[in-house]
């Protein structure tokens, strides 16, 4: 092939590299920097090789801590709101937040390694109080509980998580988890109930 014949192929390769490798990497670096600059009272740390996609939003006007382990991926539309200076959200290594994930945390949320969040999931560590008939619901405050999510948990699309999940839990799509789930359980429904178990306890 002549030199002139190779030029279009080289040009296409350069365009693909710029569009699908270099541009997203540079844009991610800018978003991470902006997240820290926008929240000067918060501690913001991203692990090495963590990708932050379009629409990433961290809202921590009163401080708090947001940090990730290495190799995490926040694809698009991730939002995290920290409720105060003692709020703490941490993602372990190689977690994947797909699209439109919302985290609201006033106490703490500890996410293990290799956790996958499907589209449009909500994670909150508090519930509105509502049982006092003499007071408006919005004046009754909240009940807060620190949350933890174990390693290798899979949370499928459109789930609401207001309780802790043990290692290797699988949460079916469109579920609302209101009670803590032990390790190696499959849960689903509204409210979520145990659908199956698997893992070491089933061996033999």
pLDDT tens readout for residues 85-141:
999 999 999 999 999 999 999 999 999 999 999 999 999 999 889 999 999 999 998
Whether the Cβ atoms of residue 44 and residue 56 lie closer than 8 Å to each other: no
3-state secondary structure of 49: coil
Report the share of the chain in percent with pLDDT over 70.
Answer: 89
Mean pLDDT computed over 174-203: 93
Q: Which residue has the higher pLDDT, 98 or 23?
A: 98
Supply the mean pLDDT for the chain: 92
Residue whose pair of structure tokens reads 């740390």 in the numeric block: 45
Token pair recorded at residue 150: 């174990």
Backbone angles phi, psi at 69, to 5 degrees: -80, -175
Token pair recorded at residue 191: 């409210």
Mean pLDDT computed over 19-42: 89
Whether the Cβ atoms of residue 118 and residue 156 lie closer than 8 Å to each other: yes
- Rounded-to-integer distance, Cα 28 and Cα 172, Å: 30
Token pair recorded at residue 165: 């999940």
* Residue-level pLDDT at 9: 64
Residue 21 has pLDDT above 80, yes or no: no
End-to-end CA distance of the chain: 62
Q: Which residue has the higher pLDDT, 10 or 161?
A: 161
Where do the H-state alpha helices sit in the chain? 3-17, 23-38
- Rounded-to-integer distance, Cα 95 and Cα 103, Å: 14
pLDDT band at 11 (very low <50, low <70, confident <90, very high): low
pLDDT in tens, 57-89: 999 999 999 999 999 999 999 999 999 999 999
* Residue-level pLDDT at 29: 95
Whether the Cβ atoms of residue 117 and residue 97 lie closer than 8 Å to each other: yes
Token pair recorded at residue 74: 């926040």
Parallel/antiparallel/unpaired status of strands 185-188 and 193-197: antiparallel
Q: Which residue has the higher pLDDT, 62 or 21?
A: 62
* Residue-level pLDDT at 200: 82
Residue among 63, 89, 70 at smallest CA distance from 78: 89
Residue 33 has pLDDT above 80, yes or no: yes
* Residue-level pLDDT at 102: 98
């Amino acid at each position: 092939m002549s030199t002139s014949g190779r030029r279009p192929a080289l040009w296409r390769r350069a365009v693909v590299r710029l569009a699908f490798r270099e541009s997203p990497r540079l844009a991610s670096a800018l978003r991470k920097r902006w997240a820290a600059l926008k929240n000067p009272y918060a501690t913001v740390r991203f692990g090495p090789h963590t990708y932050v996609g379009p629409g990433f939003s961290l809202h921590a006007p009163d401080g708090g801590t947001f940090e990730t382990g290495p190799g995490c991926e926040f694809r698009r539309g991730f939002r995290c709101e920290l409720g105060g200076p003692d709020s703490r959200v941490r993602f372990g290594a190689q977690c994947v937040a797909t699209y439109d994930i919302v985290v609201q945390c006033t106490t703490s949320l500890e996410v293990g390694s290799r956790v996958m969040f499907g589209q449009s999931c909500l994670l909150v560590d508090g519930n509105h109080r509502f049982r006092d008939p003499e007071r408006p619901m919005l004046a009754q405050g909240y009940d807060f509980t620190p949350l933890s999510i174990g390693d290798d948990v899979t949370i499928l699309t459109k789930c609401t998580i207001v309780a802790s999940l043990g290692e290797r839990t699988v949460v079916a799509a469109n579920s609302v988890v209101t009670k803590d789930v032990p390790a190696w359980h499959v849960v689903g429904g509204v409210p979520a109930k145990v659908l199956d178990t698997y893992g070491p306890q089933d061996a033999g």
